[in-house]
């Protein structure tokens, strides 16, 4: 072997060893198979999360009657790609678009298409970014023009349920506690929690252990630990909780056609409490400012 070739091989070998070291330091699994992430991993995940929330901050200005959901998808796609990131949903298990847009009675996984937004619509846009191998996942509600009082209430209850859940994310509490506080709050307000979809561990992959249920009983499930990273993403219906999947094999709708809302954050568990990694940078996500139809029920 000549010198040139051997020094090239030496160099590659060192890179591989370093790479292995870095990877093994970034995370480990606890006894439940849930990843505990290092500060290094946290930094990576946070960047992906920040880009996902900036994408939603960006899209808000385009929400108006007449725009199609696929035009909104294209804007999200271009924004994500322009920031050296990849939309995680594109090609995920055959999913064809760069975000999910779920209108009115669509619970989740609505596929952007030719449908135009119209006055009074409510919609969730859900974006997941992959940045330098790390994942960040978030969704918010948007409103078109003037919405009904019942739509506004649904959005507020869903938002508040997520905020309440986040307050309960602290080491020592269990995943069951998270589900329980969401279910209690939503049902106290005479709405229902969707059972067919849940939050999830996230970080080095899109979906990992555990399933984060939005209903359940206090004290059940694994305990939260510092370094865990997961989403909470409650879907709340005005009517009954049951859903069905349309023939596109993705779009989930309420069986009773009642309106549905959802908010999603990615969270990182800290020594005390947790850090929300997907907060808005311009506060556009808070729906209380939505305008109401006059005389709406």
With respect to ligand MF3, which residue has the nearer C-beta, 74 or 153? 74
Q: Residue 51: phi, psi to the nearest 5?
A: -70, -40
Residue 121 binds which one of ligand MF3, Co ion, none, with CB within 5 to 8 A depending on kind?
Answer: none
CB contact at 8 A, 65 and 119: yes
203 interacts with Co ion by CB under 5 A:
no
Residue with tokens 């880009």: 51
Strand partners, 85: none
**Cα gap 19→137, rounded to integer Å:** 26
Name the DSSP letter for residue 63. -
57 interacts with ligand MF3 by CB under 6 A:
no
User: Which two structure tokens, joined as six digits, stand for 242?
Assistant: 């049951």
With respect to ligand MF3, which residue has the nearer C-beta, 13 or 92? 92
**Residue-by-residue DSSP string for 122-140:** EEEEEEEEEETTEEEEEEE
137 interacts with Co ion by CB under 5 A:
yes
Residues 188 to 217 in contact with ligand MF3, rule: CB under 6 A:
none
With respect to ligand MF3, which residue has the nearer C-beta, 85 or 128? 128
121 interacts with ligand MF3 by CB under 6 A:
no
Binding letters toward ligand MF3, positions 76-115, x by CB under 6 A: -------------x--xx-x----x--------x------
Q: Which of 124, 151, 231, 260 binds Co ion (CB under 5 A)?
A: 231
User: Which two structure tokens, joined as six digits, stand for 132?
Assistant: 């330098």
Shortest separation between residue 262's beta carbon and Co ion, angstroms:
9
CB contact at 8 A, 163 and 286: no
CB contact at 8 A, 166 and 265: yes
How many other C-beta atoms are found inside a 10 Å radius of the C-beta of residue 112?
Answer: 21
CB contact at 8 A, 246 and 254: no
Residue 89 binds which one of ligand MF3, Co ion, none, with CB within 5 to 8 A depending on kind?
Answer: ligand MF3
Q: Which of 263, 207, 262 is nearest to 230 (CA)?
A: 207
Shortest separation between residue 264's beta carbon and ligand MF3, angstroms:
5
Q: Residue 253: phi, psi to the nearest 5?
A: -125, 160
73 interacts with ligand MF3 by CB under 6 A:
no
Residues 241 to 270 in contact with Co ion, rule: CB under 5 A:
264
Residue 92 binds which one of Co ion, ligand MF3, none, with CB within 5 to 8 A depending on kind?
Answer: ligand MF3
Shortest separation between residue 134's beta carbon and ligand MF3, angstroms:
15
Q: Which residues in this chain contact ligand MF3 in the complex, by CB under 6 A? A: 89, 92-93, 95, 100, 109, 126, 128, 137, 233, 250, 264
């Amino acid at each position: 072997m000549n010198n040139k070739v051997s020094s090239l091989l030496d160099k590659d070998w060192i890179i591989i060893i370093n790479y292995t070291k870095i990877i093994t330091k970034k995370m480990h699994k606890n006894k439940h198979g849930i990843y505990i992430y290092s500060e290094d991993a946290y930094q990576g995940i946070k960047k992906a999360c920040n880009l996902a929330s900036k994408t939603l901050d960006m899209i808000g200005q385009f929400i108006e009657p007449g725009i199609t959901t696929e035009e909104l998808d294209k804007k999200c796609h271009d924004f994500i790609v322009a920031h050296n990131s990849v939309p995680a949903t594109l090609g995920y298990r055959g999913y064809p678009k760069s975000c999910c847009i779920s209108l009115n009675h669509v619970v989740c996984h609505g596929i952007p298409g030719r449908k135009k937004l119209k006055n009074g619509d409510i919609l969730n846009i859900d974006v997941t970014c992959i940045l330098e191998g790390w994942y960040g996942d978030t969704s918010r509600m948007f409103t078109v023009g003037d919405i009904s009082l019942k739509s506004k209430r649904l959005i507020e209850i869903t938002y508040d349920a997520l905020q309440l859940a986040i307050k309960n994310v602290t080491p020592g509490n269990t995943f069951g506690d998270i589900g329980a506080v969401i279910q209690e709050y939503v049902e106290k307000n005479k709405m229902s929690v969707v059972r067919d979809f849940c939050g999830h561990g996230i970080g080095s992959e899109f979906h990992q252990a555990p399933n984060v249920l939005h209903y359940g009983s206090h004290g059940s499930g694994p305990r939260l630990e510092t370094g865990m990273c997961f989403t909470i993403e409650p879907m709340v219906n005005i009517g009954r909780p049951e859903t069905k999947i349309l023939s596109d094999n993705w779009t989930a709708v309420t069986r009773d056609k009642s309106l549905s809302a959802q908010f999603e954050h990615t969270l990182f568990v800290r020594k005390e409490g947790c850090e929300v990694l997907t907060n808005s940078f311009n506060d556009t996500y808070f729906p209380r400012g939505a305008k109401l139809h006059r005389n709406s029920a």
